Every structure is written in C-alpha cells, then in structure tokens.
Structure 1
Amino acid sequence: MRTPSVFIAEEIMPYLRARVAERLYHEGFKQVRIADYLGITQAMVSKYLAGRYRKPLREIAERLDSIADEVVRLILFGGGRDEAIVLVTRRLFDLFESGFLCRFYSEYSGLDEETCRSLFVRGGGRAEILEEMNRAISHLSHLRGFPSLIPEVRSNLACALPSPSVKEDVAAVPGRITSAKGRIFALPPEFGASSFTAGILLRLSEWNPRIRSVMNIRYGPDVEDALKRAGFSFARVKTGGLSEEEAIPKIVRPFEDGTYDAVIDEGGHGVEPLVYIFGRDPLEVVEKIERLISALGVLE
C-alpha cells in the first residue's frame, strides 16, 4: 500500500536530505558530521553530494528547498538532530494539512485527493494560517536588513483566527525570532505560543477584526523616519511601568479611532521601545517590513 508515509519516504525525503547535505557541506561541514545529523551513512552523503538523487516536480522542489534552508539555519544555530526531526515533521505535516501535498500524493497513490485532505486538514483555517506564517517567515529570512530590526527582547510574528477568543486561537513563533551572524532563526509557528502578541490581537479583534497579524521590531529615530518615508500611518503610546495586562490595551487603544500600519511604544523604565507593525495577515506584515527596510536604505 502506498500510504502517505511511503510517499514521504520514497518521493520526499531523498531530495530533502540531499538538499540539506549540500547546504551543510557548503557551510563547511564534514561528510561524517552531515551523516550523523541526517541519520544516514557517509556513503549516502557522498552520493547526494555527487548529485545522484531524483528530483521531484518543480513545485514540490521549491517547497522542500525552503524546508532545507530552515533545517540548515537550525543546525547552524546549534539545533540538534531531534529538533531537526521535529522541524521537518511539522513542515511536512503542514504541507499535507494545507492540501498542497495531497494533490501530488493522490497521483502517486491513486487515492482520492479529498480522502487525503480528510486525513490531514483540520477545520477553522488553522492550516491556512500556519502555511501563511511559514511563507512569511521564509520571506523574512531572505531580507538582508531584517536582522538589524530585531530588538533586544527579540521579535515575534503572530496571526489570529477570525473572531479569536483565547490565546490558542493565535499562532506565533515559539521562543520568538532571533538572529546571529546576519541570519535569522525561528522555530515552526504554533497556536498558543505567545501570550503577549495573542493578547494584542485578541483585544484588537474587538475594534478592528480585519487586522489579524502583528510583528514587533526595534524602535529608533531611523526607524521612525523610515516609517514616514514609507508612507505608513502610525500612532504613539508609552507603556513604561505598566504590567503586560495593562500594556496590551494601551498598545491597541489607537485603533478605537482609526486604522494604523504601526504603533510606536516609547517604552520607559525597564521597557524597551518597540514598533508594532500590523496587517491583515502575516504576508502583509512582512511586505510592510520589506518596505520599511527599503526606506532605511539597506534592502538589496
């Protein structure tokens, strides 16, 4: 029987392992170390590096290349084999859950595509949101100027389901987004991963339900000037001395009177100044980040 697990083993993993091996070798890893990470023999690594592996359809290859990039970033940031397995498993499950891989799996197995979807797709739009989050984070990883916008408290990207009621209705990056040596690192997004950004979007849904995504970046005079040059509308608040529970409604309060691209939080004693970028979805938020980087003059 050609189950999804067989499809992954035969059609997906050889190419994905090969692409990870190639990237790690390019980063200076020895073949024996690559083999240990991938759980394969050194001879197999040598085969992959020689290009002796079958390439999938271009659409699948593009998605797998993106996953390979994430795996390599995780390893370069010190992630272990177990973390790499979790990352790959989540990413592949997301591709099934979104319906993307079901189209190809149905051709491989002869199983009806809708039956495949019934195995993986959950209701409520969660799969679609995780897919959008993954795409947005992948795009962030290719923006040369983004690491310079990550604050001391680190950044996070979040997106809420329509009409959210609890923090588990908001997807965010566990542990937030960090950077080192000009690269960003982020674990796969999960629902319920962030209380603070969830609190912002839960409160915001009361005033402007169309705005369902937010990301925090550092504040500075250069960033404020770039906001102006990019043509963004923004408001100012100050949350210094407030608890998280008190800060959340203050950050959202400007939306009672209008819609803004960003809110500047001037911070205060013990609170780092930040800028919150808002959008209808994660991709719109990242598009605004890209415009901001361009206005800062550091975009390739």
Structure 2
Amino acid sequence: MRTPSVYIAEELMPYLRARVAENLYREGMKQSQIAEYLGITQAMVSKYLSGRYKRPPAEVAAKLDSIADEIVKVILFGGNRSEVIVLTARRLFELFQSGFLCRFYADYSGVSEDACRSMFSVQRDRGEVLEVLNLALGELTRLEGFPSLIPEVRSNFAYALSSPRGPEDVAAVPGRITTARGRMFALPPEFGASSFTAGILVEVGRIRPEIRSVLNIRYGGDIEEVLESVGFKVARVKTGGLSEEEAVKAIAAVFESGTYDTVVDEGGLGVEPLTYIFGRDPFEVVDKLRRLVRALEKAE
C-alpha cells in the first residue's frame, strides 16, 4: 500500500537528505558528521554529494529546499539529532495539512486529493494559536535588549489552546530561542515543541484558564530591582532538587493564591534561576517584557 509514510520515504526523503548533506558539506562539515546527523552511512552521503538522488517535481523541490535550509540552521546552531528528526517530521506533516502535498500524493498513490485532505485535517483554532504566537515572536525579535535577557538554558515562548490537555495542545518554539553572533535565532512555533514550558501552561490552565501564554528569561540582581517598580505582581519558587514534573507543578501552584505577572524560580543546585512572564496571550507577554526592558534601560 502506498501510504503517506511510504510516499515520504520513497519520493521526498532522498532529495531532502541530499540537500541537507550538500548544504552542510559547503559549510565545512565532514561527511562522517553529516552521516551521523542524517542517520545514514558515509557512503550514502558521498552518493548524495555526487548528485545521485531522486528529484521530485519543481514545486515540491522548492518546499523541500526551504525545509533543508531550516534543518541546516538547527544543526549549525547546535541542535541535536532528535531536534532534527522532530523538525523534519513536523514540516512534512504541515505540507500535508495545508493540502500542498495532496495533489502529488494523489498522483503517486491513486488516492483522491479529498481523501488526502481528510486524513490531514487540522482544527482552525490551532492555526489561530500558531499565527498569534508567530506574530508576537516577530515583535520579540525586534525588541532591542531581549537578547541580553536570554538565559543559559535559552528562552521559550509558548501559547496554549483553551483548556489544554497536554503539551500537544501548546504551541512553542522548537529548540527554544537562542542567540548567535549577538542576534536572536528562533524557528517558527509548533505544537508539541516543548515539554517543560508547555507543561507549566497545562498546569496553570487548570487553575487559571485565562492564563495561556508564558516566556522565560534570565534572573539576576538587575531584574530583581525593576520587577516591582514596573508594577508586576511577583511570586517566587525554588525548584532546585526537584524533578521536571515536580518543578512544573511547583511553578503552577503559585496561581492557586492569585494571578501573577511573573514567577521567579530561584533555582538551586544545578538549576539556573529564571523569570517566567505570564499573560492571557503572547502579545500581553511581549508588552510586559517591553516594560521590563525599558525599566532596565533606565536603571543603567
């Protein structure tokens, strides 16, 4: 049976792997390293670099080239193999969800385009959550002063569906938000891209359903000095020594006594102190961050 997974394996992956291999090789990566990231043999990498691979229709190739560029960026910015696999699977799934690949899959499998679209239908509210978070992320990238607030564990920005049941109902930034050469770098938001940050929103949503977005930044004396001056209601926890599940519940539990703008996690042994900024939606979170950045600038 020519299922979508078979179509991906036979028609899309050879070209996609080849394009990633070519781009990484141009960046100076060794064939053995490329093989490890792609989960193939060095001989196969050599074959791809020689141009011996199947090429899809031009329209499909253009989409795969874009995905290859994203994958290469993730690898060059230190992403691991697991992150590469997740990104690849999600991007290909999105091409089916949008209906773009259905025409080509229909020609390959004999299944109608309508049948293909029904297999990959997506809820409208999920699209809206992704759109809002992506727009707010764009505002975040233009906010001067934010890169200096990204912690060592990196930042993540998340937005949940109403009444999220699990991390799969929370959109976040794959691989988190990081900096390179003084500039912020972030992939487009996706559902299921976070476990810890998403877990916090799931737990908070059970207590305060109106709180659906969060961003984590670093913590320090400078931030401590301006938190209350900007009028934020602040709660504090200390998650050092706790498991991830326990830490998530500890951060969310503060909302049982009220609604807070920020939660300071003082960390502990092996746990970096962090500041979590909460809001009803991503734009509210960015607005709060903007107030914090301005206060920090004035305090300098």
Residue 158 (str. 1) matches residue 151 (str. 2): no
RMSD of the alignment, in Å? 3.1
Per the alignment, residue 205 of structure 1 pairs with: 205
DSSP 3-state at the match of 1:235: strand
C-alpha offsets along residues 143-198 of structure 1, whole Å, 9 cap, x if unaligned? 11000100000000011100110211001111000012321000111100111011
Per the alignment, residue 283 of structure 1 pairs with: 283
Per the alignment, residue 239 of structure 2 pairs with: 239
Tell me by how many angstroms 1:292 deviates: 0.6
Distance between the aligned counterparts of 2:74 and 2:165, measured in 1?
37
Segments of 5+ residues of structure 1 without an aligned counterpart are 1-70, 98-117
Distance between the aligned counterparts of 1:121 and 1:214, measured in 2?
28
Q: For residues 264 and 275 of structure 1, do their structure 2 counterparts lie closer, same or farther at Cα, with a shift above 3 Å needed?
A: same
C-alpha offsets along residues 183-220 of structure 1, whole Å, 9 cap, x if unaligned? 10001111001110111011111110000011110000
Residue 170 (str. 1) matches residue 206 (str. 2): no
DSSP 3-state at the match of 1:272: coil
Per the alignment, residue 262 of structure 2 pairs with: 262
Amino acid at match of 2:273: P
Aligned length: 201
Matches within 5 A, 1:186-205: 186-205=186-205
Identity of aligned residues (%): 60
Q: For residues 223 and 264 of structure 1, do their structure 2 counterparts lie closer, same or farther at Cα, with a shift above 3 Å needed?
A: same
Amino acid at match of 1:293: V
DSSP 3-state at the match of 1:125: helix
Tell me by how many angstroms 1:122 deviates: 3.4
C-alpha offsets along residues 231-269 of structure 1, whole Å, 9 cap, x if unaligned? 111101101110101111111111001000000000000
Per the alignment, residue 220 of structure 1 pairs with: 220
CA contact (8 A) 1:130 1:190 kept: yes
Q: For residues 227 and 121 of structure 1, do their structure 2 counterparts lie closer, same or farther at Cα, with a shift above 3 Å needed?
A: farther
Distance between the aligned counterparts of 1:195 and 1:177, measured in 2?
15
Distance between the aligned counterparts of 1:77 and 1:290, measured in 2?
31
CA contact (8 A) 1:124 1:161 kept: no
Per the alignment, residue 8 of structure 1 pairs with: none
Q: For residues 236 and 188 of structure 1, do their structure 2 counterparts lie closer, same or farther at Cα, with a shift above 3 Å needed?
A: same
Amino acid at match of 1:244: E
Amino acid at match of 1:203: E
DSSP 3-state at the match of 1:164: coil
Matches within 5 A, 1:92-171: 122-171=122-171
CA contact (8 A) 1:144 1:182 kept: no
Distance between the aligned counterparts of 2:152 and 2:175, measured in 1?
13
Segments of 5+ residues of structure 2 without an aligned counterpart are 1-68, 78-83, 99-117
* Runs ≥4 residues deviating over 6 A: 74-77
Per the alignment, residue 249 of structure 1 pairs with: 249
DSSP 3-state at the match of 2:228: helix
CA contact (8 A) 1:145 1:298 kept: no
DSSP 3-state at the match of 1:187: coil
Amino acid at match of 2:197: T
Distance between the aligned counterparts of 1:137 and 1:150, measured in 2?
14
Per the alignment, residue 38 of structure 2 pairs with: none
DSSP 3-state at the match of 1:223: helix
DSSP 3-state at the match of 1:275: strand
Distance between the aligned counterparts of 2:267 and 2:138, measured in 1?
29
Distance between the aligned counterparts of 2:298 and 2:76, measured in 1?
28
Q: For residues 276 and 211 of structure 1, do their structure 2 counterparts lie closer, same or farther at Cα, with a shift above 3 Å needed?
A: same
CA contact (8 A) 1:156 1:177 kept: yes
Give the TM-score normalised by the residue count of structure 1: 0.60
Tell me by how many angstroms 1:230 deviates: 1.2
Q: For residues 212 and 76 of structure 1, do their structure 2 counterparts lie closer, same or farther at Cα, with a shift above 3 Å needed?
A: closer
Q: For residues 169 and 296 of structure 1, do their structure 2 counterparts lie closer, same or farther at Cα, with a shift above 3 Å needed?
A: same
Farther-moved stretch of structure 1 (120-129 vs 258-267): 120-129
Amino acid at match of 1:269: L
